[in-house]
């Protein structure tokens, strides 16, 4: 077979066969529905990048390996399919570990392809030689090491299946350079789809009986409902039962906030949850985001019905009264068909009124004088702008501390995958810019990202990635010149702060220097016109908004009492 040149950094290999293992990797990815690879160029993964480019897979080169994994996460959360990233060996891999841990903790299907030292050089002090599989196994759902060309296709195929099956998560594949440059046969197989299992009739009957007999039932959905594609099934169940639903985590927009029976996010629907006597939890665990199943969101006397494809969810922190194992979409349809009780329409209307009271309360939180722009006003106006930006609204990305709380209160969701934020499980900062780029490349909708200035600093250089890739998210930076949430906590605890202040920076000018569009906003009146110009620019933009650091939101003020960290 004809040989082709391989670029520098190839570990001593000057030529590779035309159908090398990198081509096989690309063939498996295409069979698995992957059309975009996020990576940082490096010799160890050059065969993968070249194979993907030849296979018609879009290759997006980033400025940091962790950003590549975060972009793959965002791509997955916007498309509902497994995201894929590739990184080079040693420090390239270790830089990506936070992204790998985040996708696993958050339950996002991501496959990380790691280039690795040649098999014959391991343990001999080779440059960039790290035991990557052992490190990945600490945080990933599944790991695999390829030691021969014949195993490449099967291993990558297994990784795709592992990442997306059951409770989604992170899968890692260790790919030595000498294996990647070796000749492999074409892959002509298929990657199996996610299986969807039904619940037992007895479990469905017990769940329906408990919910039908309740006076104030509420449904809370999480990421498992999103990955199951349960939107239509959830609508059918809500219509049949009259039970109001609040959408949390990845399931935001699974049922649109404006649809009858939807209470919106947990920030507002949580009021009805606290008042409920029975709660149906679909595809979510009682982790910190759900207050571990305890106060202030939950009461001991409440009864819990839980649907999850992973039985381990039933054992975390609070055991449900009725555990229903199965695919969220399948089980919700089973329950809708089995429903014979009277729909809870009066309670649904009362729950909706409670959610509206919460929204009104958050609006009052934005009142009052502020230096520059009140952060609540910024979140309110930015989210309103996003909601009006095109059919179905823009995708909203939230990243930071203080500004995150404001964003969660005002971000609406009318379609799945339209709200991405950092606090799902691991709480990693710095996801905002890569999430925004990944979302912009995954969907046709505009993207508006609301990011704290501290969080922005983690990945601001990815603006150059956006310019190169032709992505045009609007990055709205809440520039309060500080690590706002830490500043508030330290002031409360110690009466002083240590290194929480940041140097005043013109982030709009930074964006301009990297090839994007920049706007500076110092008053509320300047905000919407700046956002409109940013959207019209057609390129990545930074709207740098000077905000008041002394206007913390309710979530931040109560964080210590919630005891979630």
In a domain, 196, yes or no: no
- Is 241 part of a structural domain of the chain? yes
Q: Answer with the one of 112, 145, 180 that is the final residue of a domain.
A: 180
3-state SS, one letter per residue, for 191-252: CCCCCCCCCCHHHHHHHHHHHHCCCCEEEEECHHHHHCCCHHHHHHHHHHHCCCEEECHHHC
Helix, strand, coil shares of the chain, percent, nearest 5, are: 45, 20, 35
CA 199 to chain centre: 28
- The answer to whether residues 371 and 519 touch, using CB atoms and an 8 Å cutoff, is no
SS3 335: helix
Half-sphere exposure of 343 (CA within 13 A, CB side): 13
For 251, the domain range is 201-356
Task: List the structure tokens of 500.
Answer: 């929480």
Q: CA dihedral in degrees (304, 309, 312, 314; nearest 10)?
A: 10
Is pLDDT at 565 greater than 70 in this prediction? no
CATH of the domain at 14: 3.40.50.970
Same domain? For 130 and 231 the reply is no
Looking at the structure, tell me whether residues 384 and 497 fall in a common domain: yes
What pLDDT, on the 0 to 100 scale, is given for residue 227?
A: 95
Buried b (16+ CB within 10 A) or exposed e, 190-223: ebeebeeeebeeebbebbbebbbebebbbbbbbb
Give the lowest-confidence range in 259-263, 292-296, 496-500: 496-500
Q: Is residue 388 part of a domain?
A: yes
100 falls within a domain? yes
Asked if 407 and 526 sit in the same domain, the reply is yes
Pairing verdict, β 15-17 and 3-5? antiparallel
Residue for token pair 């309670």 = 347
Confidence of residue 13 (pLDDT cuts 50, 70, 90): low
Same domain, 110 and 174: yes
| pLDDT (tens digit per residue) in 325-342 | 999 999 999 999 999 888
Contacts of 346 (CB under 8 A, 6+ apart): none
Looking at residue 494, its pLDDT comes to 81
Tens of pLDDT, residues 187-243: 988 888 888 899 999 999 999 999 999 999 999 999 999 999 999 999 999 999 999
Same structural domain, 44 and 125: yes
Q: How far is CA 339 from CA 86, 184, 210, 395, in A?
A: 47, 54, 11, 35
Q: How far is CA 186 from the centre of its chain?
A: 33
On average, the pLDDT of the chain sits at 91
Cβ 282 vs Cβ 221: under 8 Å: yes
Question: What gap in Å lies between CA 424 and CA 74, rounded to an integer?
Answer: 13
Question: Residues 121-144: pLDDT tens digits?
Answer: 677 777 777 889 999 999 999 999
The answer on 445 and 330 residing in a single domain is no
What confidence category does residue 482 fall into, taking pLDDT thresholds of 50, 70 and 90?
confident
Which of 504, 480, 498 is CA-nearest to residue 556? 480
Query: pLDDT tens, 393-424?
Result: 999 999 988 899 899 999 999 999 999 997 66
- 174 lies in the same domain as 231: no
Judged against a pLDDT cut of 70, whether residue 1 lies above it is answered with no
Whether 561 shows a pLDDT value over 60: the answer reads: no
Same domain, 256 and 380: no
User: What confidence score (pLDDT) does residue 560 get?
Assistant: 54
Residues 73/108, Cβ–Cβ less than 8 Å: yes
> How far apart are alpha carbons 9 and 230 in whole angstroms?
46
Is residue 210 within 8 A of residue 305, CB to CB? The reply is: yes
- 193 within some domain: no
Comparing CA positions, the residue from 146, 158, 154, 148 lying closest to residue 183 is 148
Residues 316, 254, single domain; the answer is yes
Domain boundary among 328, 356, 384: 356
Residues 158 and 250 in one domain: no
pTM of the model: 0.93
> Do 249 and 327 fall within a single domain?
yes
Could you tell me if residue 186 is inside a domain? no
Query: At residue 2, does pLDDT exceed 50?
Result: no
| Number of domain units in the chain | 3
189 in a domain, yes or no?
A: no
Task: Place 558 in a pLDDT band, splitting at 50, 70 and 90.
Answer: low
- What is the pLDDT confidence band of residue 10, given thresholds at 50, 70 and 90? very low
Residue 55 has pLDDT above 60, yes or no: yes
CATH of the domain at 232: 3.40.50.1220
Picking from 180, 215, 244, the residue at the C-terminal end of a domain is: 180
Please report whether residue 191 resides in a domain: no
Cross-strand bridge partners of residue 240 = none
Burial class for 123, CB neighbours closer than 10 Å (0-12, 13-18, 19+): exposed
Q: What does the alpha-carbon distance between residue 78 and residue 435 come to, in Å, rounded to a whole number?
A: 10
Q: 564 falls in which pLDDT band (50, 70, 90)?
A: low
Burial class (CB in 10 A: 0-12, 13-18, 19+), 229: middle
176 and 54, same domain (yes or no): yes
């Amino acid at each position: 077979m004809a040989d082709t040149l391989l670029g520098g950094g190839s570990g001593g290999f000057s030529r590779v066969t035309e159908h090398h293992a990198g081509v096989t990797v690309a063939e498996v990815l295409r069979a698995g529905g992957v059309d975009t690879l996020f990576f940082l160029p490096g010799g160890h993964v050059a065969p993968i990048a070249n194979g993907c480019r030849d296979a018609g897979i879009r290759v997006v080169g980033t400025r940091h390996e962790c950003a590549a994994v975060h972009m793959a996460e965002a791509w997955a959360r916007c498309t509902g399919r497994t995201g894929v990233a590739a990184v080079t060996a040693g420090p390239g891999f270790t830089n990506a570990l936070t992204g790998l841990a985040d996708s696993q903790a958050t339950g996002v299907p991501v496959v990380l392809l790691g280039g690795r030292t040649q098999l014959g050089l391991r343990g001999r002090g080779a440059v960039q030689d790290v035991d990557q599989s052992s490190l990945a196994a600490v945080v990933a759902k599944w790991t695999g090491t390829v030691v021969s060309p014949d195993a490449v296709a099967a291993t990558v195929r297994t990784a795709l299946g592992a990442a997306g099956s059951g409770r989604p998560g992170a899968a890692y594949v260790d790919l030595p350079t000498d294996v990647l440059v070796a000749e492999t046969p074409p892959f002509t197989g298929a990657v199996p789809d996610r299986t969807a299992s039904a619940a037992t009739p007895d479990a469905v009957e017990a769940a329906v009986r408990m919910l039908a007999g309740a006076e104030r039932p509420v449904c809370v959905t999480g990421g498992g409902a999103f990955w199951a594609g349960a939107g239509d099934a959830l609508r059918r169940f809500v219509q049949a039962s009259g039970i109001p639903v609040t959408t949390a985590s990845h399931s935001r927009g699974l049922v649109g906030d404006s649809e009858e029976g939807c209470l919106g996010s947990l920030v507002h629907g949580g009021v009805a949850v606290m008042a409920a006597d029975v709660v149906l939890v679909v595809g979510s665990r009682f982790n910190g985001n759900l207050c571990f199943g305890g106060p202030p969101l939950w009461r001991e006397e409440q009864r819990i019905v839980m649907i999850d494809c992973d039985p381990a969810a039933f054992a975390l922190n609070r055991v449900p009264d009725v555990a229903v194992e199965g695919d969220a979409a399948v089980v919700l349809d089973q329950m809708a068909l089995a429903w014979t009780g009277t729909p809870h329409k009066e309670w649904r209307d009362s729950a909706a009124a409670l959610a509206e009271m919460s929204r009104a309360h958050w609006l009052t939180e934005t009142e009052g004088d502020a230096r520059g722009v009140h952060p609540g006003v910024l979140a309110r106006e930015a989210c309103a702008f996003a909601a009006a930006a095109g059919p179905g609204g823009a995708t909203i990305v939230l990243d930071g501390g203080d500004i995150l709380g404001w964003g969660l209160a005002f971000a609406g969701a009318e379609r799945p995958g339209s709200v991405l934020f950092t606090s799902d499980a691991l709480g990693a900062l710095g996801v905002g810019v890569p999430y925004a780029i990944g979302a912009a490349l995954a969907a046709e909708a505009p993207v508006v990202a609301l990011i704290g200035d501290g969080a922005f600093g983690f990945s601001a250089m990815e603006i150059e990635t956006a310019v190169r890739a032709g992505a045009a998210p609007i990055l709205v930076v809440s520039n309060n010149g500080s690590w706002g949430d830490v500043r508030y906590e330290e002031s409360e605890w110690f009466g002083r702060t240590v290194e929480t202040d940041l140097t005043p920076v013109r982030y709009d000018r930074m964006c301009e220097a990297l090839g994007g569009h920049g706007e500076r906003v110092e008053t509320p009146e300047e905000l919407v016109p700046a956002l409109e110009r940013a959207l019209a620019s057609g390129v990545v933009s930074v709207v740098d908004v000077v905000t008041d650091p002394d206007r913390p939101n309710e979530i931040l003020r109560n964080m210590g009492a919630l005891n979630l960290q």
